[in-house]
Amino acid sequence: MFLYITLGTNDLGCAIRFYDPVLATLGLARLRTLETEAGYAAPGDSRCRLWITRPFDGRPATVGNGSMPALVAGSRDAVDAFHRAALAQGGTDEGAPGLRPFGASFYACYVRDPDGNKLSAVCEQAPAP
């Protein structure tokens, strides 16, 4: 459904230092770095699907109340690692990893990046027996 998502930043260097290790826990890597933005992609995808960028209009980035990309995690361990990495890189906790009432196996965590953007990592797979 989505071609890509952008999240605003006021300090691209700080954002890169946050997103590189945090997104690596989900297998995502930075593929492009430009003066005003950094693009991340999944393995085998040559197109960046998540962009961290300074706003095009030159005004300060602000947080969208109610906006939150939920990123796919391949396992509950990956959700846990995402949460730990986000907090270690200066993010803030918005909900520790755990089951949520959105499905029998909906395991998620919620964090905010240093700019205040809210992110989620979600695994919908049941744990292996």
Q: Give the tokens for residue 1.
A: 């459904």
Q: Give the tokens for residue 61.
A: 């980035």
What is the pairing mode between strands 107-112 and 118-123?
Answer: antiparallel
Average pLDDT over residues 114-128: 93
Q: Write down the number of H helices and E strands in the chain.
A: 2, 8
Query: What is the set of domains in the chain, with CATH numbers?
Result: 5-56+67-123 (3.10.180.10)
Q: Are 48 and 39 in contact (CB under 8 A)?
A: yes
What is the chain's Cα-based Rg? Answer: 14
pLDDT, tens digit, for every residue of 65-112? 889 999 999 999 999 999 999 999 999 999 999 999 999 999 999 999
